[in-house]
Structure 1
Amino acid sequence: MIHLLNLLAAIALLVWGTSQVRTGMLRVFGENLRGVLARSFGNRPAALAAGLGVTSLVQSSTATCLIVASFVGKGLVPTAAALTVMLGADVGTALMAVVFSFDLRWLSPLLIVVGVVLFTSRQTAASGPAGRIGRVLIGLGLITLALQLIVAATRPLTEAPAVRALLAALPHEVLLDMVVGATLTVACYSSLAIVLLTATLAAQGLVPVDVALGLVLGANLGSGLLAWLATGADSPVARRLPLGNLLFKLTGALIAMPLLGPLLPLLAQWVPDVHAQVVGFHLGFNVVLALLFVGVTGPVAGLVDRWLAETPEARHHARNSHLDPVALATPSLAISCAAREALHQADVVEAMLRGVLPVLQNNDLALAGQLRARDDEVDRLYTDIKLYLTRISREALSEREGRRWTDIVSFTINMEQIGDGIERVLIDIEDKKIRKGRRFSDAGMAEICHLHERLLANLRLGMSVFLDGHARDAQRLLQEKARFRELEHAYAATHIARLQEHTPESIETSSLHLDLLSELKRINSHICSIAYPILESRGALADTRLRPSQLAGLDELPH
């Protein structure tokens, strides 16, 4: 019993180590990996090389498939080019299996020690580059250690008479072996781990070589099935790549099944070591698969495009939403998606604000109703962005990405409150001006038009500050808060002066005029709040907004 528990623990350690390396590499390189893939779609050799290289880093063709599927889902990449990348990605996974098949006993303690030193020495910034690299090294060390533990744990099992009798009674059915291999791969979320485990068990005599090769074919199928299941909730376009890749793997497995019998003696003749036979078969299968299907990616892409045609509703949704659920696997990419959707929310707010003046000048009730209805869209976008951000692991973010996460939350809250403020302005205009047939004085309308113009300019500046994060622009935006407040005070004073002069229009619209000035100032305050996180991160904010002379004077006041 203890030997079985040791084996299960070693398998779990292998899967965990593979997962740590995959997620660690995605966090270290993040957007760079996506950039490499994006630049590789021009020709087939470059696409194959990019898929091979990126997957060798992240050690997961599934992770590569999810990244590239997001490109396809957004219409940025044709399905044929993406399928070529995936053929290279599968070769990359097979190459990593070859690397880990070497005797790396000396490497495991070295990687773990260096990784732990890097991670713990920068514990306060474990999500930074040093901490992430340390995590990757620890994962690599755990993989090599797990392989050694599997060898040690399987040796007593292979010597047990009951185990040998059980294995001898198992039917050597390739199709059944493939089903088992695919199931284990989906359960472990790693075809690399299953291939390495299968090779080790075969080397220990616990699994016959013909069964091991069937399990390897199943592991390849399982990786394709895993990507298809992971994109189950995505649009039909985003699922084209996993489906095409799964078709390649399934066709390759069906071709390989009848060839396993003649291939076994050739493998034994060319490669005496059983472990190397299994790993070599895995590499050879994926290389042949890439060479065989790289020329037919176009027709297969056309086939899956027809099978998974995009509906008009899905096309409209994809055009309006940047919140890609696939990108959640890579936090740095998910942050970028949330920022793009926040800018879309700001565009809707700007359209609402821009429409206020025509409503005011033309007494347009229909336009007012349309603009107020858009506040529901602003609220929906705020909720979607907020929920999307909560699905991003904060621990996986670097310090800079963590600040960006906070900036996006702050920005969307401000946009939602600005939308509410615009809705209140429109309701006041409808109730206090349009339905009562009142009009502003020429001077009063000019003042409101001037504030509205400044407000639009400040909103555009605020969007630029959010997008670029320039401290100088943030300072300009914060200065606009004081200028706008001074204008609001000045225009309120001139309105009171017109009341004293008994200007009829000013008397009729006095309540609305003062409410508008106050509400526009409140909206401007929310816009200027975009500058605070930027300036705070650079240490440019003072502890208090009071001037030192005023602060000293407060001490002299009676308590």
Structure 2
Amino acid sequence: MYFLLNLFSAIALLAFGVYMTKKTVISSCGASIGNVLRNVVDSKFKAVLIGLGTTMLVQSSTATSLLVSSFLKKNLLSLGIALAIMLGADLGTAIMARVLTCDLSIVSPILLTLGIFLYLGFADRVKLHLSGGIMLGLGLILLALRLIVQTTQTVTHAELTAVLLKSLTDEITFALILGMILAVICFSSLAAVLLTSLLCTTGAIEVSGALAVVIGANIGSCILEIIGALKQGISAKRVMYGNTLFKIIIGVIALCLLTPIENAEKETSFPLSEFVIWFHVVFNAVICIFMLPCVGLMSKLLYALIPERKVEYDPNTPEHLDVAAYIDPNLALGNAVREVLSLGDFLQQMFSNLGNSIAYKPQEGVSSNDMKNRIRDIAGKISEYLAGVNFDSKKQRRRMNRCLIASADVSECAHIINGMIKRLNKANSNYSASFIPEIRNELGRISSECSSAVNLAVNAFFRNGKEEKQNYIEKKNQCLKLITNFHSNYIGNTHLNAEQDMRFFMILLEILEQYRHICVIFDPLFHKGELKSQEIEMNLTED
């Protein structure tokens, strides 16, 4: 029992080291990795290299698979290119297994010492902080591998262990299952292959049994990826199933060639423990070389086996809030921003309904109340989505705050417009005599200008450019002038002759005040000093 506790704690440390490395690498260069993945269009060879390099950086083929799944879901990658990236990712994992199993006992304490110093001592300096996190993660991986070796050394030399292992690995089927179980328990094919290599030093496992365990460990790592893809949609499932089929095909061929491989091992000068690790590298290299030309055929097969499901469109369901993007904060922020833009489209539909109410026309499409509830619900889901992302830099947190402010502003704007439509409907039914065509025309013009100002504000939020902000300010000022002119022409100079007229003009005053509120509601999205300076520049230009 004590042995199992030590082993599982070492495995847990290995998993945390991989997580730490993955998190800090993606935080520091996740945007660059994402841009590189997006730019892979039709070159399968380039896709393999990118998958290999990405996995060697983040120390996890699972992390690469999540990024690939996210881009595939947005149709930024084809299925064939995604499969090629995963072939490179598995090869990168195998190469890193070879590197990390070398004697790096001196490197581990250096990485841990320097890493913890940078990670904790420079929390306010992002680059040094993240560099320390990468060092710390790599140091923990090396330390965990050493602990796994030390923990299992005492047990592997026991006679009972030798008998159990020999009985298990004499049968190839049992050896395959053992490899799968080890990979799933260890959350890593690396740890499973390392344990197999260590057990080979005791002589308890024959060559054929050890190679079968390695093949099983490679297939077992795919089981973890499939489990992770279950919640990521059809596209992610296709990639993971295709990658698993590649490994099963080459795995079956390798099992048929175990005898020649065993003879080759006897002719080499490598000890069995080293041969097992090199076999792990060569196995993944063979998969990459021989399966790369087949990615197109595999794509067609996967589309036939896993067809698209006909999902009814639900406008209340966010389109861009992909949980798989949590692995890259910049990608998750981009998804949230796109969702805010879709809220802006819904808001324009509400402005269209507002214009119909002003013109005394029937409402078209979804009612304003349902649209308001839809915007409110999706804005709440944006907040929940961003709450699940770990932001490491101040820049990312600022972008997150702006995104939350924008979604809240759009939701508030929808609430205001819904109230305006109700007041206008009341005015149409109760005070139609006072609601003369001139007033309707001017209100329609104000509504159109206000809609344009809101659209420009959302566009300025998305692009964050100086020109977009100036366009928003200019349109906002035009709308405010129209409101002021309307007030002076139709309310300030009007003599109220009846109580009915007074109530009607009270409704108009409320509507004008709400138009003013909408015009300035998006100002908190931008720096006040910046907006003020741009307004002064524009006023000087007008003068």
Specify the alignment match of 2:540 in structure 1: none
What per-residue deviation string (whole Å, max 9, x for no partner) do you get for residues 186-245 of structure 1?
Answer: 344322333234323434556554443223212211222222221212332332111211
Amino acid at match of 2:23: T
Say which of 132, 144, 150 aligns to 1:146: 144
1:413 to partner: Cα distance: 0.8
**Identity value in percent:** 28
What pairs with 1:470-549 in structure 2 (closer than 5 Å)? Answer: 470=465, 474=469, 488=483, 491-500=486-495, 509-531=504-526, 534-535=527-528
Structure 1 residue 263 corresponds to structure 2 residue 261: yes
Specify the alignment match of 1:273 in structure 2: 271
Specify the alignment match of 2:419 in structure 1: 424
What per-residue deviation string (whole Å, max 9, x for no partner) do you get for residues 430-467 of structure 1?
Answer: 12215654453455335423432331232123113311
1:416 to partner: Cα distance: 0.7
Compared with structure 1, are the counterparts of its residues 448 and 300 closer, same or farther at alpha carbon in structure 2 (3 Å cutoff)?
Answer: same
CA distance in structure 1 between the aligned counterparts of 2:190 and 2:156, rounded to whole angstroms: 23
Amino acid at match of 1:376: N
Amino acid at match of 2:67: I
Moved more, 402-411 or 455-464: 455-464
1:419 to partner: Cα distance: 0.8
Say which of 195, 217, 220 aligns to 1:219: 217
Structure 1 residue 403 corresponds to structure 2 residue 409: no
Tell me the secondary structure at the aligned position of residue 522 of structure 2. Answer: helix
1:518 to partner: Cα distance: 1.6
CA distance in structure 1 between the aligned counterparts of 2:493 and 2:82, rounded to whole angstroms: 68
Tell me the secondary structure at the aligned position of residue 322 of structure 1. Answer: coil
Tell me the secondary structure at the aligned position of residue 124 of structure 1. Answer: coil
What per-residue deviation string (whole Å, max 9, x for no partner) do you get for residues 19-41 of structure 1?
Answer: 22222222222121122122223
Compared with structure 1, are the counterparts of its residues 61 and 311 closer, same or farther at alpha carbon in structure 2 (3 Å cutoff)?
Answer: same
1:382 to partner: Cα distance: 1.3
Tell me the secondary structure at the aligned position of residue 367 of structure 1. Answer: coil
CA distance in structure 2 between the aligned counterparts of 1:129 and 1:443, rounded to whole angstroms: 61
Amino acid at match of 1:366: Q
CA distance in structure 1 between the aligned counterparts of 2:331 and 2:303, rounded to whole angstroms: 26
CA distance in structure 1 between the aligned counterparts of 2:353 and 2:363, rounded to whole angstroms: 11
Structure 1 residue 17 corresponds to structure 2 residue 17: yes
Would you say the 8 A contact 1:157–1:206 is kept in 2? no
1:161 to partner: Cα distance: 3.5
Structure 1 residue 445 corresponds to structure 2 residue 443: no
1:403 to partner: Cα distance: 1.1
Specify the alignment match of 1:386 in structure 2: 383
Moved more, 102-111 or 502-511: 502-511
CA distance in structure 2 between the aligned counterparts of 1:442 and 1:498, rounded to whole angstroms: 17
Superposed CA RMSD: 3.1
1:151 to partner: Cα distance: 2.8
CA distance in structure 1 between the aligned counterparts of 2:434 and 2:78, rounded to whole angstroms: 57
CA distance in structure 2 between the aligned counterparts of 1:271 and 1:28, rounded to whole angstroms: 42
Specify the alignment match of 1:343 in structure 2: 341
CA distance in structure 2 between the aligned counterparts of 1:403 and 1:135, rounded to whole angstroms: 22
Structure 1 residue 231 corresponds to structure 2 residue 229: yes
CA distance in structure 2 between the aligned counterparts of 1:375 and 1:43, rounded to whole angstroms: 46
1:99 to partner: Cα distance: 0.9
Specify the alignment match of 1:39 in structure 2: 39
Compared with structure 1, are the counterparts of its residues 233 and 224 closer, same or farther at alpha carbon in structure 2 (3 Å cutoff)?
Answer: same
Specify the alignment match of 1:299 in structure 2: 297
CA distance in structure 1 between the aligned counterparts of 2:104 and 2:498, rounded to whole angstroms: 91
Specify the alignment match of 1:83 in structure 2: 83
Compared with structure 1, are the counterparts of its residues 365 and 504 closer, same or farther at alpha carbon in structure 2 (3 Å cutoff)?
Answer: farther
Specify the alignment match of 2:124 in structure 1: 124
What per-residue deviation string (whole Å, max 9, x for no partner) do you get for residues 530-556 of structure 1?
Answer: 22xx458x8x899xxxxxxxxxxxxxx
Compared with structure 1, are the counterparts of its residues 254 and 412 closer, same or farther at alpha carbon in structure 2 (3 Å cutoff)?
Answer: same
**How high is the TM-score relative to the length of structure 2?**
0.88
Amino acid at match of 2:20: Q
Amino acid at match of 2:268: W
Moved more, 193-202 or 222-231: 193-202
Structure 1: runs of 5+ lacking an equivalent: 543-559
Would you say the 8 A contact 1:51–1:86 is kept in 2? yes
Compared with structure 1, are the counterparts of its residues 434 and 313 closer, same or farther at alpha carbon in structure 2 (3 Å cutoff)?
Answer: farther
Compared with structure 1, are the counterparts of its residues 17 and 199 closer, same or farther at alpha carbon in structure 2 (3 Å cutoff)?
Answer: farther
What pairs with 1:350-389 in structure 2 (closer than 5 Å)? Answer: 350-361=348-359, 363-367=360-364, 370-389=367-386
What per-residue deviation string (whole Å, max 9, x for no partner) do you get for residues 478-510 of structure 1?
Answer: 787787667645543443334317599965731
Specify the alignment match of 1:555 in structure 2: none
Would you say the 8 A contact 2:431–2:500 is kept in 1? no
CA distance in structure 2 between the aligned counterparts of 1:94 and 1:334, rounded to whole angstroms: 29
CA distance in structure 1 between the aligned counterparts of 2:149 and 2:344, rounded to whole angstroms: 58
CA distance in structure 1 between the aligned counterparts of 2:289 and 2:89, rounded to whole angstroms: 13
Structure 1 residue 467 corresponds to structure 2 residue 465: no
CA distance in structure 1 between the aligned counterparts of 2:17 and 2:169, rounded to whole angstroms: 32
Say which of 165, 169, 194 aligns to 1:167: 165
Would you say the 8 A contact 2:168–2:174 is kept in 1? no
**How high is the TM-score relative to the length of structure 1?**
0.86
1:143 to partner: Cα distance: 1.7
Would you say the 8 A contact 1:101–1:276 is kept in 2? no
Would you say the 8 A contact 2:157–2:202 is kept in 1? no
CA distance in structure 2 between the aligned counterparts of 1:193 and 1:401, rounded to whole angstroms: 34
CA distance in structure 1 between the aligned counterparts of 2:494 and 2:316, rounded to whole angstroms: 53
CA distance in structure 1 between the aligned counterparts of 2:464 and 2:176, rounded to whole angstroms: 52
Tell me the secondary structure at the aligned position of residue 363 of structure 2. Answer: helix
CA distance in structure 2 between the aligned counterparts of 1:172 and 1:248, rounded to whole angstroms: 26
Compared with structure 1, are the counterparts of its residues 459 and 189 closer, same or farther at alpha carbon in structure 2 (3 Å cutoff)?
Answer: farther
CA distance in structure 2 between the aligned counterparts of 1:491 and 1:401, rounded to whole angstroms: 43
Structure 2: runs of 5+ lacking an equivalent: 534-543
CA distance in structure 2 between the aligned counterparts of 1:359 and 1:376, rounded to whole angstroms: 19
CA distance in structure 2 between the aligned counterparts of 1:419 and 1:271, rounded to whole angstroms: 75
Would you say the 8 A contact 1:441–1:505 is kept in 2? no
What per-residue deviation string (whole Å, max 9, x for no partner) do you get for residues 389-410 of structure 1?
Answer: 122124xx32111111111111
Would you say the 8 A contact 1:345–1:415 is kept in 2? yes
Tell me the secondary structure at the aligned position of residue 321 of structure 1. Answer: coil
CA distance in structure 2 between the aligned counterparts of 1:176 and 1:168, rounded to whole angstroms: 11
Amino acid at match of 1:72: L
What pairs with 1:23-62 in structure 2 (closer than 5 Å)? Answer: 23-62=23-62
1:281 to partner: Cα distance: 0.8
1:135 to partner: Cα distance: 0.8
Specify the alignment match of 1:99 in structure 2: 99
CA distance in structure 2 between the aligned counterparts of 1:530 and 1:116, rounded to whole angstroms: 37
Tell me the secondary structure at the aligned position of residue 407 of structure 1. Answer: helix
What per-residue deviation string (whole Å, max 9, x for no partner) do you get for residues 359-404 of structure 1?
Answer: 312x12233863443223212321321221122124xx32111111
CA distance in structure 1 between the aligned counterparts of 2:291 and 2:354, rounded to whole angstroms: 58
